[in-house]
Amino acid sequence: MLESEQSIAKIIELVDRAVWVVTSAAGGRRSGLLASWVTPSSLDPLMPLVNLSLNDRNFTTELIQQSGSFSLHLLRLNQTALALSFGLRSGRDIDKFEGLQTTIGATGAPVLTDCLAALDCRLIHKVQIADRLYVWGRAVSGRLPHPAIPLSERALLASANPEQRTALQSQRERDANLQRVAWQSLLASDPTVGSTGHFHS
Ligand SMILES: Cc1cc2nc3c(=O)[nH]c(=O)nc-3n(C[C@H](O)[C@H](O)[C@H](O)COP(=O)(O)O)c2cc1C
């Protein structure tokens, strides 16, 4: 990495974000993923919205599009193992819910019983950009049994053992490479963007 790229990476790493378990179910199948690109995106308490950036290759993304619903969960600081179990393997290969207590929310999405907080959401809008599907959900119900500080990405990484750290790092590199290719192809097909990737009028 160039020195300027390292400075940019350091600046971006200053921002810590909560990690959320996003679950969904459709056609008798269910899955969930760990997500840090989740942003509350409404000023209107009568229309509480959340925006998620989802990798379109993830199984959960497919289920959200099929069902039109999902649940979001914040975790307690001691739920790092649960977070990694949703973030490192695909629900196409394993049942991530095995041994976990769940209920079904009003939207039909699975809701984890043991978490810090849960929001049941209806999908109301989506936009595909490069390799990401940006979805907006409207929260229709919420559960916050014991308010506390939620597990964040930084705390999760700090708790990971060397093997988990390697797995997280290699997943990140794989996704970053795919993202780079997707953005390059998007920019190349946009007549308002030059080959440098800079917008011009
Ligand atoms: C800290 C962390 C944050 C992540 N954030 C996101 C995210 O915001 N969006 C996303 O689509 N995937 C994210 N992932 C990756 C998914 O959790 C991961 O690919 C998961 O295994 C997908 O499972 P699925 O195929 O069952 O849906 C993240 C993973 C980690 C470890």
Distance, CA 58 to ligand 1 centroid (Å)?
A: 7
DSSP H helical segments within the chain, as ranges? 3-13, 59-67, 80-87, 153-159, 162-188
Query: Is any ligand 1 atom within 6 A of the Cβ of residue 137?
Result: no
Percentage of the chain exceeding pLDDT 90: 89
Please report the pLDDT score of residue 192 as a whole number.
76
- Closest residue by Cα to atom 6, ligand 1, is 35
Q: How far is the CA of 142 from the centre of ligand 1 (A)?
A: 22
Report the separation in Å between the CA atom of 153 and the middle of ligand 1, taken as the mean of its atom positions. Answer: 12
Q: What pairs with residue 29 in β-bridges?
A: 26
Residue 164 Cβ < 6 Å to ligand 1: no
Classify each residue of 161-186 as buried b or exposed e, where b means 16 or more C-beta atoms within 10 Å of its C-beta: eeebeebbeeeeeeeeeeeeebeeee
pLDDT band, residue 4 (cuts 50/70/90): confident
Distance from the CA of 33 to the center of ligand 1, in angstroms? 5
Please compute the mean of the pLDDT values over residues 129-156 and round it to a whole number.
96
Residue 201 has pLDDT above 70, yes or no: no
pLDDT for 194: 55
The whole-model pTM stands at 0.94
Instruction: Give pLDDT tens digits for 61-107.
Output: 999 999 999 999 999 999 999 999 999 999 999 999 999 999 999 99
- CA-to-CA separations, 141 to 20, 51, 171, 187, in angstroms, rounded: 16, 16, 33, 39
Chain centroid to Cα 174, Å, comes to 16
Q: Is 27 left (phi over 0), alpha (psi -120 to 50) or beta?
A: left
Length of the chain: 201
The pLDDT of residue 51 is 98
pLDDT tens, residue by residue, 160-192: 999 999 999 999 999 999 999 999 999 999 877
pLDDT tens track for 20-34? 999 999 999 999 999
pLDDT beyond 60 at 195:
no
